[in-house]
Amino acid sequence: MSTLKVDTLDTSNGTGNITLSRPLSGSGASLTSLPAASLTGTIADARFPATLPAASGANLTSLPAANVTGTLAVAKGGTGTTTYTALMNAIYDGSPDSDHTATGPQTNTLAAGYSTTIMDLVYLGSSSKWLEADSNATGTSINLLGIALEAKTDTQAMNVALPGSFVRDDSWTWTPGVPLYVSGTLGAITATKPTGSGDVVRTVGFAVHADMIYFNPSSDYVTLA
């Protein structure tokens, strides 16, 4: 075996490539500026671990939901994972930012069953549409209740504040802390308990500010004789 020791290999005129008829072997520890496109074969784990190190994704945006796997941490408030229980235990902002808005559970999946007005108290009817609630009968007051956050017409999908939400209407003038009820007036909430024969007394939540309520309808109700 012969040994060739040189400092520099070059072509006779300093241009072109040097071609070797046989492969070279040995350590490549001192090689630099190797084009990635020219590398072939398998990179050993020693230089590129089989398990990638953890990295922060804080600045990642526009990730398709279909590509996200594993357990997601609760985004805001509470602890645990994004299960139904964790979401229900989350800490919601009790001060909606502007008039006719809400924080907390909402849905825009179901449609209005009439021409609604924003802030109407609505109940879910047997056709899975939102209808105007009132305390004059059990059929219009004891179902799932919501508060309309949009003005929609019959069959249009409508965003509705669900039980457990904080709702703001700048026209309200509640006394903070008082219980609120389904009103005898279509679509209204009242701080006055219904008293008429056949009226349904059902609380829908509590005033937390002059123009804000905690919307949390009771499943209990009383029908007056």
Which pLDDT does position 11 carry in this prediction?
Answer: 79
Q: What is the rounded average pLDDT of the residues 206-214?
A: 97
Question: Of 23, 53, 52, which Cα lies nearest the Cα of 40?
Answer: 23
Model's pTM, two decimal places?
0.63
Which of the four pLDDT bands, split at 50, 70 and 90, describes residue 207? Answer: very high
Tell me if 135 is assigned to some domain: yes
Residues 125, 115: Cα–Cα separation, whole Å: 15
Tell me the percentage of the chain whose pLDDT exceeds 70: 83
User: Which tokens sit at 158?
Assistant: 């409508």
CA 140 from chain centre, in angstroms, equals: 31
Q: Is residue 31 part of a domain?
A: no
Q: Which residues are CB-contacts of 184 (< 8 A; sequence separation ≥ 6)?
A: 134, 135, 136, 190, 194, 196, 199
Inside any domain, residue 169 = yes
d(CA 111, CA 146): 12
125-131: long-range contacts, CB 8 A cutoff, minimum separation 24: 129/154, 129/155, 130/158, 130/160
Q: What is the pLDDT of residues 75-134, one digit of tens each?
A: 444 444 555 555 555 677 888 999 999 999 999 999 999 999 999 999 999 999 999 999
Contact criterion met (CB below 8 Å) for 198 and 137 = yes
Q: Is residue 161, in this structure, part of any structural domain at all?
A: yes
Handedness of CA 193, 199, 201, 205 (dihedral sign): negative
Q: Is the pLDDT reported for residue 143 higher than 60?
A: yes
Q: Would you say residue 137 lies in a domain?
A: yes
d(CA 64, CA 118): 33
105, part of any domain: yes
Whether 54 is covered by a domain: the verdict is no
Q: Which residue has better confidence, 41 or 98?
A: 98
Q: Is the pLDDT of residue 9 over 50?
A: yes
Number of domains in the chain: 1
Boundaries of domain holding 213: 101-223
Please, are residues 136 and 190 in contact by the beta-carbon 8 Å criterion? no
Q: How far apart are the C-alpha atoms of 220 and 218, rounded to whole Å?
A: 5
* Residue 47 in domain: no
